[in-house]
């Protein structure tokens, strides 16, 4: 599935002078590949110079080769995979709608189930995931994968709520880390691991519902605080990543919003499709990969992203 990259042009909007140093004036937005239905879950493998990303309705994980631009099917079926990350050993950790599980792909290619239920009840449809410095797996579990048959199988929630969970690295026990979110979605740690940012896309299900990112203080296995950090003015904040300076690069309806460490929207990378998620890649982690509805995009920025760990 080799496609010639399409130059979309200079697509930067500066809303605050602080964003000037975070963009590269000559960098263009490129459409690297198109042909998906709702692409998500980008995760970068610098050791292999490739990116994996999910095409949820098409039930597959795709692989973009950074060396030649070729896109191939890496896993199909993928259990309608969504968000993905890597653990401390470099293994792939995946949220799966269809199986309603969080799984880890071992070095030999086999899958290990990390979480599939809470209190004896099946999870809804794990959405996005991060791994903490202590090896704990944190994941969100909204209902998008069971709301219909397009991104999973329709089902009624057994738990009756959409929660943020933590999987203990020693015992494997699954515990609720936050239970007052409407539709928890993207999440990412700060550089020091002492804060966890979580987006709530509850506006998709509740009139005037949340379309924001909340910020929590992390105390081991416990979260404190949870104040609203930033409200999305264009659609909802879905997946996002944090850069080395503490800025958040968040997906939105009109592109990627760059939010400063104090919560100000300082700039945008405008994308011609609704953006679902982002991640940093390239040898210096200064290439911003963007999954936008049907396509994979990228642009270079003037800051490096945090590693996944």
Q: Which residues contact 57 (CB under 8 A, 6 or more apart)?
A: 37, 38, 80, 150, 151
Summarised one tens digit per residue, pLDDT across range 233-282 is: 999 999 999 999 999 999 999 999 999 999 999 999 999 999 999 999 99
pLDDT category at 6 given cuts 50, 70, 90 is: confident
Q: How far apart are CA 89 and CA 106, in angstroms?
A: 10
The pTM of the whole model exceeds 0.85: yes
Asked if 216 contacts 193 with a C-beta cutoff of 8 angstroms, the reply is no
- Percent of the residues in the chain that have a pLDDT greater than 70, as a whole number: 99
Q: How far apart are CA 237 and CA 291, in angstroms?
A: 13
Q: How far apart are CA 80 and CA 83, in angstroms?
A: 10
* Residue 2 pLDDT: 67
Residue 67 predicted with pLDDT over 90: yes
Residue 257, phi then psi, degrees to nearest 5:
-95, 135
For 54, 70, 71, the CA distances from 74, given in Å and listed in that order, are: 10, 12, 9
Summarised one tens digit per residue, pLDDT across range 96-136 is: 999 999 999 999 999 999 999 999 999 999 999 999 999 99
Summarised one tens digit per residue, pLDDT across range 19-34 is: 999 999 999 999 999 9
Asked if 218 contacts 195 with a C-beta cutoff of 8 angstroms, the reply is yes
Instruction: Round the average pLDDT of the chain to a whole number and report it.
Output: 96
């Amino acid at each position: 599935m080799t496609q010639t990259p399409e130059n979309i042009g200079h697509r930067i909007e500066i809303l605050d002078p602080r964003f000037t140093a975070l963009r590269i004036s000559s960098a263009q937005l490129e459409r690297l590949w198109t042909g998906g239905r709702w692409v998500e879950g980008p995760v970068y493998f610098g050791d292999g110079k490739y990116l994996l990303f999910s095409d949820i309705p098409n039930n597959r994980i795709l692989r973009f080769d950074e060396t030649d631009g070729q896109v191939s099917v890496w896993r199909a079926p993928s259990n309608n995979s969504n968000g993905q990350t890597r653990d401390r050993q470099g293994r792939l950790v995946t949220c799966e709608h269809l199986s309603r599980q969080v799984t880890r792909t071992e070095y030999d290619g086999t899958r290990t189930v990390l979480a599939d239920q809470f209190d004896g009840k099946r999870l809804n449809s794990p959405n996005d995931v991060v791994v903490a410095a202590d090896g704990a797996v944190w994941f969100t579990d909204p209902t998008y994968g069971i709301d219909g048959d397009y991104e999973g199988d329709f089902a009624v929630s057994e738990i009756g709520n959409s929660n943020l969970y933590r999987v203990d690295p020693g015992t494997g026990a699954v515990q609720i880390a936050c239970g007052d979110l409407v539709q928890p979605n993207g999440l990412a740690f700060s550089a020091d691991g002492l804060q966890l940012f979580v987006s709530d896309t509850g506006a998709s299900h509740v009139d005037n519902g949340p379309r924001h990112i909340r910020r929590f203080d992390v105390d081991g296995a416990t979260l404190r605080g949870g104040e609203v950090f930033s409200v999305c003015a264009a659609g909802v904040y879905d997946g996002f990543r944090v850069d080395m300076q503490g800025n958040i690069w968040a997906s939105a309806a009109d592109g990627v919003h760059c939010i400063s460490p104090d919560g100000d929207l300082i700039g945008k990378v405008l994308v011609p499709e609704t953006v679902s998620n982002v991640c940093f890649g390239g040898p210096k982690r200064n290439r911003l990969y963007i999954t936008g509805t049907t396509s994979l995009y990228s642009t270079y920025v003037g800051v490096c992203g945090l590693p996944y760990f």
